Amino acid sequence: MASMSLLLAGLFLPLFPMSIIFNFVFQRASSAWLRVIIILVWPLPGLWLIENSATELVDIYVYWALFTSVLYGFRTVVVKELSVWTGFIATSAWSLLWVAEYLGAKIDDLIMHTFAYSIPLVLLALIVARLERQYESAYVGVVTGLAQEQPRTTGLIVVVILAVIGSPVFPSFFALLSNINNVVVVLPSVALAIALVWLLWSWSGVRLLQELIVGDPAVFQHEDISYGQTMLFCLSFILLVAGGLYMAEILL
């Protein structure tokens, strides 16, 4: 029964092939706010299940999680639909929570890791929904030349994607770094796998930015994001950086 609770946790802290269910649900979400709720809530039952399981977390779950994270890391490199990319990054990131649990992270730290990955994805989901309303698709190639057409939206996308892929000063950076620091001496192969995931996120994020920003803008011009909304996003970025610095003090 205890092992069943860990398998059920693999639905919420996605382990392949159960990760397919999350991505199916996320892609079928009909609104931006529904996607936001899914991103914020989905991993929490998984945290509760692994934290309250009577079975000790064995190595197989760690390597299963790493396999899932690397697999979806590779998938982010080839996908061009921004909503799909968001779901794949979420899957890859939440899988790494198994590693943090295996390393003995307390529940408060696990929750901190979870939101370090999830909050930037929430901001990205909101921007992606806006692009879908304007272009009827957030597919890279359909959306292009944003730097000329929507400079404010472009700036927000750049910062959000940098936050998502774990750039320095953002919370996801310190979540990844703490995992690597905690495991590099005892299990260097696990540290190497996490670093590979990080590299794949960065590669895919930079590729998406290049294709979104550079190029000729759409024939039909779309209105840029308002100044008020831009300021709200900027405030969110400041809070993210503050959260990242707080995590650095707590986890490193």
Residue 152 CA to residue 14 CA, distance in Å, equals 34
- Helices 171-183, 227-251: crossing angle, 10 deg rounding: 20
Report the pLDDT value the prediction gives residue 137, as an integer from 0 to 100.
79
Neighbours of 153 (CB within 10 A): 24
Q: What is the pTM of this model?
A: 0.95
- What's the number of CA atoms in the CB half-sphere (13 Å) around residue 252? 16
What pLDDT shows up at residue 1?
A: 47
Which of the residues in the chain have pLDDT under 70? Answer: 1-2, 54, 218-220, 252
Tokens 């909101």 locate to 126
pLDDT of residue 219: 62
Q: What is the pLDDT of residue 10?
A: 92
Side chain identity at 2, as an amino acid letter? A
* pLDDT at 195 (0 to 100): 96
Q: In whole numbers, what is the pLDDT of the chain averaged over residues?
A: 91
What local confidence, expressed as pLDDT, does residue 218 receive?
Answer: 65
Q: What number of other Cβ atoms are within 10 A of residue 80's Cβ?
A: 17
Helix (H) / strand (E) element for 242: namely: helix 227-251
